[in-house]
A and B are shown apart, each in its own frame.
Chain A
Amino acid sequence: MRTKKSSSFQKYKGFLLEPSIQNFFTGRIWARETTPFPKEKIDIYIKRGLLKIKPAIGEGPVCHRCLNKEKKQFIFYHCARCQKVCTYCRYCIQMGRMSSCTELLTWNGPLPKLNSYHSLVWKSRFTPLQEKVSIELTESIKQGRSHLVSAVCGAGKTEILFTAIHDALNEKKRVCVATPRTDVVLELAPRFAEVFPQTTVQALYGGAPQSCMYAPLIIATTHQLYRFEQAFDIMIVDEADAFPYTYDASLQQAVQKAKKEQAPIAFVTATPTSELLELKKTGGYSFIPSRYHGHPLPVPRFSSLWGYDKSIKKKRIPKKLKEWTEKRIAENEPFLIFFPTIELMQQAIPLFRQLDSKIEAVHAEDSDRKEKVLHLRNREIKGLLTTTILERGITIKNVQVAVVGAESKIFTASALIQISGRVGRNKDFPAGDIVFFHHGMTVEMDMAQEEIKRLNKEGFPSA
C-alpha cells in the first residue's frame, strides 16, 4: 500500500498505473505491435505520455533497436500499409522485423518501487586469490569504474561476481549479466536464482518465456540487449570475447545502449583480446592464473593426422584418432571430439558409431543439444562429436578432448584455449588428455599452447 504519495505519482492523479505494464516497460524498448498487453491499454498509456514513441528506423538509415548502420543490411521496399517506400533492418530481423513504419515504445512514467533487501545465500569457498579478485571487482563497481577480470577456464568466475551483484542489488540498482551464448544463460540463470532466493531473476534468450515482472537481475544473451535502453546500472559481460560472436562493434553498441550512461561494465573472460586489455589503463584489472582446485591447466599436445578429411570421406577413421577413441571407450572416460565443420562431423558420426553405438553428434541447430550434453554428463553415452558450439561453458567430469583439424581457420587461438579449458575442471580429475590432431601446424595452435604454458607459469611460479 502506498501511504505517502510521491510527487511523480500525483502527476497522474485519477489514473492508477498497472504494475505489470510499468514493470514490463521500465528499461525496455519494444515494438508497439508486439507488446504482451491489449492494444487499447497501450493506446491510453501513449496518450497520457507514459509511453514514448519513436520510429524503429531513423535517418541514415539507422536501426533504433540494434543500432545497425550498415547500408547493405537495409532493404527498401514498397510498403502496402504506408503506400510508399519503407526501409527495414535485416540485421536484427530474427527478433521480429523493424521497419520505418514500426513504432518503438519506451517507458516515460515513474519508476517501479524497488525492493532494497536481497539476500545472498551462498557459502564462500573462495581461494585467497578468488577472494582478492572479488573484493577488487566489488570496489571498482562501487566507484562506478569498469573492470576486467581475466581468469583461466575453471577459475570459478561466476562466484566472483556474487558479492558485487549483491551489493548493487541492495542499493536498488539493476544488474545485467550478458553472455553471447544461450547455453551459458541456461546454465547461469538457475545458479543466480539459487544464490539470490529473494530476487526476481529473469533469463532472456531467443524463445524464452515472457514475464511482466520487474527483474533487478537479468541474465541475457547479448542479442536480447537490443530490447533494452538505458536500463542497467551495472553491466557484466561474461566471456567478453566469445567466438564466433566476437565482441564486435554491433554488440559493443548493444551493451552501451542497454546500460545507463555512467554505468560501469565488468568484463569477465578467460581469453582477453588486446583491446580489452587496454582497460588496464583506465579501469580495474584482476587476473587469476590458476584454477580453483589449485592444479595447473592441462597443456594441449599436437599430433599429426595427415589427410584426415580424405580418410573420413573414404569412410575410414584415421588410425591415431581411432586408437584415441578406443582408449577412451576402454577406460570408460567421457570424451568430446571437436570438428571444424558440420559436414565432416556428419560424415564421421556413422563411422564412430561402429566403434560404439552410444556416441552422438551435436551442432548449433540441433534441438536436442541440451539433452545430449546431459546424457554425456550422466554417463549415458560414451562421447560426443561436436562443432565449436560446445567450446565454452560446458563442464563434464573427467572429460577427455580431441580437436580434429586443429589447423582449420575456425579454431583460433582463443577457441583452442577455450576448448582446452574443458579438461581437468573437476578437483577429483584435475588432469586429462587434450590433443590437437592436425594436418599441418598453425600459428594459432602455437599461440594457444604458449598461452596455456604462460598461465601455468604465472599460477605456479615455483614449478
Chain B
Amino acid sequence: MLKEVHNCLLCQKPLQTQVSWLTFFERFPPIICADCEGKFELSADTDPDHRSLYQYNEPMKDFLHRYKFLYDVVLAKVFQRKLHDLLKNEKRIIVAVPMHPEKLLERTFSPVEELLNAAKISYTPLLEKTTTDTQSKKTREERLNTPQLFRTAGEVKAAHYVVFDDIYTTGTTIEHAKRALLEAGAKSVASVTLIRG
C-alpha cells in the first residue's frame, strides 16, 4: 500500500487527474474513477443515533465481495476520503467493531479496522468478540435472539462513544456493541457504519 495508484482501483481504467496547486494539499489522491464513484449511492439516513455513509446497492455488493471475500485489502482506500471527512472532527471515542481472533487469522486482516486505518482515523480497541459466528450466515430471527457477542477489554470511561462497523443490516451487531459499552459505564454510545443494508 505504499505506491501511488494510477489506474482506478475498481475498474482499472487509467485515472485522469488534473494536477493543480491544490493537488499538493490533497491528503488522499483520487484512487477510483468518477464512473465508479458515481455508482455508489449516498445514504439519506437522518437518525441522530446512527449514521451510514452509503446505501447498499449492486456496486456496493460487488465492492464488499472483492474487499471482504476476495481479501483485496487495498480496497480499504476506496472510501478513505469520505470516511475521513465524516469522522475527522469526531469528539467522541471511536471503537471499531472487532473480529474474533480466529477469524482474523483466517482472513489475514480486519476489514473494519482497515477502513479506519486507510481514512487515517484513530480508534480505541475496547471490545472483544466472544464468538466465531458470523451474522451474515444467520436468519433475521436467529440474529435477533443472539446472546451477547462482545465483552469489553480495558477500561471503559464514563464518556461518549461511537462504534464503527462496515455494514448495518438488522442492527444486531451494533446493538450488542452498544450494550456492552453502556453496561461497562459509557455515558452514551452512537454508531456509524459505511453502509446501510
Knowing A72-B6, A76-B2, A77-B1, the reply to whether A93 touches B72 (Cβ < 8 A) is: yes
Partner of A75, one of B74, B106, B107, B110: B74
**Shortest CB–CB separation between residue B99 and chain A, in angstroms?**
9
Separation of A93 and B70 alpha carbons in the complex (Å): 7
Mask, B1-45, CB within 8 Å of A = 1, is: 111011100000000000000000000000000000000000000
- Chain B residues with Cβ below 8 Å from A97 are 70-72
> How many A-B contacts at CB < 8 Å in the complex?
46
Knowing A72-B3, A72-B6, the reply to whether A77 touches B109 (Cβ < 8 A) is: yes
Main secondary structure of the interface of A (DSSP, over half): mixed
- Chain B residues with Cβ below 8 Å from A77 are 1, 73-74, 109
Is there an interface contact between B108 and A101, defined as CB atoms closer than 8 Å? yes
> CB-nearest residue of chain A relative to B99?
A80
Is there an interface contact between A80 and B74, defined as CB atoms closer than 8 Å? no
Is there an interface contact between A80 and B70, defined as CB atoms closer than 8 Å? no
Is there an interface contact between A90 and B108, defined as CB atoms closer than 8 Å? no
Mask, B61-76, CB within 8 Å of A = 1, is: 0000010001111100
Mask, A269-312, CB within 8 Å of B = 1, is: 00000000000000000000000000000000000000000000
- Chain B residues with Cβ below 8 Å from A86 are 108
Partner of A96, one of B7, B70, B110: B70
By CB atoms of chain B within 10 A, which of A76, A80, A86, A88 has the most? Answer: A80
- Chain B residues with Cβ below 8 Å from A81 are 104-106, 108
Is there an interface contact between A80 and B105, defined as CB atoms closer than 8 Å? yes
Separation of A72 and B1 alpha carbons in the complex (Å): 10
Main secondary structure of the interface of B (DSSP, over half): loop
- Chain B residues with Cβ below 8 Å from A101 are 108
A354 at the interface (CB under 8 A from B): no
A111 at the interface (CB under 8 A from B): no
- Chain B residues with Cβ below 8 Å from A79 are 108-109
Separation of A94 and B71 alpha carbons in the complex (Å): 10
- Chain A residues with Cβ below 8 Å from B6 are 72
- Chain B residues with Cβ below 8 Å from A146 are none
Separation of A79 and B109 alpha carbons in the complex (Å): 6
Is there an interface contact between A76 and B105, defined as CB atoms closer than 8 Å? no
Separation of A112 and B107 alpha carbons in the complex (Å): 35
Tier of interface size on chain B? 10 to 19
- Chain B residues with Cβ below 8 Å from A71 are 3
Separation of A45 and B72 alpha carbons in the complex (Å): 30
- Chain A residues with Cβ below 8 Å from B71 are 88, 93, 97, 99
CB proximity to A under 8 Å, residues B78-112: 104-110
Partner of B73, one of A75, A94, A96: A75
**Shortest CB–CB separation between residue A463 and chain B, in angstroms?**
46
Is there an interface contact between B72 and A90, defined as CB atoms closer than 8 Å? yes
Is there an interface contact between A90 and B105, defined as CB atoms closer than 8 Å? no
**Shortest CB–CB separation between residue B180 and chain A, in angstroms?**
22
Separation of A90 and B12 alpha carbons in the complex (Å): 11
Separation of A99 and B66 alpha carbons in the complex (Å): 15
Is there an interface contact between A75 and B108, defined as CB atoms closer than 8 Å? no
> CB-nearest residue of chain B relative to A95?
B70
**Shortest CB–CB separation between residue A82 and chain B, in angstroms?**
8
Separation of A101 and B107 alpha carbons in the complex (Å): 12
- Chain B residues with Cβ below 8 Å from A80 are 104-105, 107-110
Knowing A88-B71, A90-B74, A93-B70, the reply to whether A99 touches B3 (Cβ < 8 A) is: no
- Chain B residues with Cβ below 8 Å from A75 are 1, 72-74
By CB atoms of chain A within 10 A, which of B5, B6, B106, B109 has the most? Answer: B109
> CB-nearest residue of chain B relative to A97?
B71
Separation of A304 and B109 alpha carbons in the complex (Å): 55
> CB-nearest residue of chain A relative to B117?
A78
Is there an interface contact between B70 and A94, defined as CB atoms closer than 8 Å? yes
Separation of A388 and B135 alpha carbons in the complex (Å): 41
Mask, B176-195, CB within 8 Å of A = 1, is: 00000000000000000000
Separation of A94 and B108 alpha carbons in the complex (Å): 17
Separation of A81 and B104 alpha carbons in the complex (Å): 7
CB proximity to B under 8 Å, residues A203-236: none
Separation of A428 and B5 alpha carbons in the complex (Å): 54
- Chain B residues with Cβ below 8 Å from A82 are 108
CB proximity to B under 8 Å, residues A360-380: none
Separation of A72 and B104 alpha carbons in the complex (Å): 26
Separation of A76 and B74 alpha carbons in the complex (Å): 9
> CB-nearest residue of chain A relative to B110?
A80
Separation of A82 and B109 alpha carbons in the complex (Å): 10
- Chain A residues with Cβ below 8 Å from B70 are 93-94, 96-97
Separation of A93 and B108 alpha carbons in the complex (Å): 15
- Chain B residues with Cβ below 8 Å from A78 are 109
- Chain B residues with Cβ below 8 Å from A76 are 1-2
Separation of A88 and B109 alpha carbons in the complex (Å): 13
Separation of A54 and B191 alpha carbons in the complex (Å): 44
> CB-nearest residue of chain A relative to B73?
A77
- Chain B residues with Cβ below 8 Å from A96 are 70
Separation of A227 and B73 alpha carbons in the complex (Å): 23
**Shortest CB–CB separation between residue B3 and chain A, in angstroms?**
6
> CB-nearest residue of chain B relative to A94?
B70
> CB-nearest residue of chain B relative to A78?
B109
> CB-nearest residue of chain B relative to A33?
B106
Separation of A79 and B108 alpha carbons in the complex (Å): 5
Separation of A99 and B72 alpha carbons in the complex (Å): 10
- Chain A residues with Cβ below 8 Å from B106 are 81
**Shortest CB–CB separation between residue B60 and chain A, in angstroms?**
16
Separation of A96 and B65 alpha carbons in the complex (Å): 11
- Chain A residues with Cβ below 8 Å from B3 are 71-72
Separation of A77 and B118 alpha carbons in the complex (Å): 12
Known: A77-B74, A80-B108, A96-B70. 12 other contacts (CB 8 A): A72-B5, A75-B72, A75-B73, A75-B74, A77-B1, A77-B73, A77-B109, A79-B108, A80-B107, A86-B108, A93-B70, A99-B108
What are 16 A-to-B residue pairs whose CB atoms are below 8 Å?
A72-B3, A75-B72, A75-B74, A76-B1, A77-B74, A79-B108, A79-B109, A80-B105, A80-B107, A81-B105, A81-B106, A88-B73, A90-B74, A97-B71, A97-B72, A101-B108
